Amino acid sequence: MPNPGQTFAPGAYKFTVKSAAEAVALIREKLGPQARVLSVRAVPTTGLKKLFGRPQLEVIAQIDPVVPAASSLAAVSGEPALPPDFAETNSRFSSAPPPPPPATGLAGLLRRSGLTETALSRLQSGATWSELNTLPLHRALAETSRLLCQSIGSRAPRAPISRAAFLGTPGVGRTTALCKWLSVEVFRRARFGHVVTVEFDKPNPLGPLPVFSEALGVPLAHFPCETNPAVPGGFVYFDLPGMSSRRPADNAPLAQFLDREQINQRVLVLNAAYDRTVLRDAYSAGRDLGATHLVFTHLDEVPQWGKLWDYLFDENLEPLFLSTGPSLTGDCEEDAPAAIARRTLPDS
């Protein structure tokens, strides 16, 4: 690795890093803001590293002999890019011959980062898209991140949930999501309340909820019981049986219960590791049940989070949190847009 402050002569340079964020930082620090990215590709691992490690990211950047007035760092090659989280211990530079001229620009890089066509279309239809393409790569990515977060944060905020049902298909981690939210309420907000479990014609497995509720000092009741807060300013959360994403008629008991008990806050829990079709079906079923808030689980199993932007654009659903691990008292990102931006695009 060159000494701090060392600069490079005009030419092409190849380096392998842990993440795209580190690549952007090294380009800016070592090669300067006018450097051009010529190639971004995944380097597959071999042997045991293939089983236990993660791919590396190889980037080739070039310094031109004459610095142009406008940077062209936004252009990259057509090689596939990986999300910013790659396991490797050291970055290393070496000279390399320049690859063929790049064929795509900022839009191609965003697509390879996992951004969907819906999210990309929103950016391209904005008044600032042309300006984004004139910026150096690290600045364009940072500005793109800001614009995406701004588009979600600009809507009117809703009141915090306090009397809400948690909905989701079986196996999505619905009860675990409820436990995580209980820990947020008790530990971070010092709120108190109780939880109501509901069963219809099928059993509703409670998982860790009884033991966890007892540990938090949160009473756990079984319906029929009191469904309004037992203490002033307290919460009531409902653990419901799993909904069906393919047979809407099977969800009739859920809809009737929610309407009869006048539970207007309804948290839809989705497993982000599911494929797009299954995820979309579950999302549609939750919307039909009047979902007002959104939780994504199993994000520790998802390498690219870009597909989640589409769901955050729905102004009828407020993102509540992202579950990034199995812990019942942690692994929870409440600022969903910022967390997805960090995993979709490198920080500047």
pLDDT tens string 162-178: 999 999 999 899 999 99
Q: How far apart are CA 338 and CA 111, in angstroms?
A: 19
pLDDT tens string 32-70: 766 766 666 666 655 544 444 555 667 777 777 654 443
Confirm if 38 and 62 have CB atoms less than 8 A apart: yes
pLDDT tens string 216-254: 999 999 999 988 988 888 999 999 999 999 888 999 999
pLDDT the model gives residue 20: 62
Q: How confident is the model at residue 127 (pLDDT cuts 50, 70, 90)?
A: confident
Q: How far apart are CA 172 and CA 37, in angstroms?
A: 40
pLDDT tens string 81-106: 333 333 333 333 344 444 443 435 78
- What is the topology classification, in CATH, of domain 163-344? Rossmann fold (3.40.50)
Lowest mean pLDDT among 100-114, 124-138, 227-241: 100-114
Q: Which of the pair, 182 or 14, is modelled with greater confidence?
A: 182
Q: How confident is the model at residue 258 (pLDDT cuts 50, 70, 90)?
A: very high
- 133 has pLDDT over 50: yes
Beta bridge partners of 119: none
Lowest mean pLDDT among 68-72, 131-135, 309-313: 68-72
pLDDT the model gives residue 17: 74
> Averaging pLDDT over each range in 114-123, 150-159, 207-216, 250-259, which range is the top one?
250-259
Q: Count the Cβ atoms, other than its own, within 10 Å of residue 249.
A: 6
Q: Which of 88, 90, 136, 89 is CA-nearest to residue 109?
A: 136
In the chain, residues under CATH classification 3.40.50.300 are: 163-344
pLDDT the model gives residue 251: 94
- 23 has pLDDT over 60: yes
pLDDT the model gives residue 154: 67
Q: Which of the pair, 20 or 114, is modelled with greater confidence?
A: 114
Average pLDDT, integer, range 269-293: 94
Q: Which of the pair, 73 or 32, is modelled with greater confidence?
A: 32
Average pLDDT, integer, range 277-297: 94
- The region, left, alpha or beta by phi > 0 then psi within -120 to 50, assigned to residue 83 is beta
Average pLDDT, integer, range 272-288: 93
Average pLDDT, integer, range 199-222: 88
Total-model pTM? 0.67
Q: How far apart are CA 201 and CA 126, in angstroms?
A: 50
Lowest mean pLDDT among 129-143, 159-173, 283-297: 129-143
User: Considering just the CA atoms, what is the radius of gyration of the chain in Å?
Assistant: 24
Lowest mean pLDDT among 10-19, 107-116, 135-144, 238-247: 10-19
pLDDT the model gives residue 192: 92
pLDDT the model gives residue 8: 64
Q: How far apart are CA 248 and CA 117, in angstroms?
A: 29
- 3 has pLDDT over 70: no
Q: How far is CA 21 from CA 10, 94, 195, 288, in A?
A: 23, 19, 42, 39
Sign of CA dihedral 305, 55, 106, 25: positive
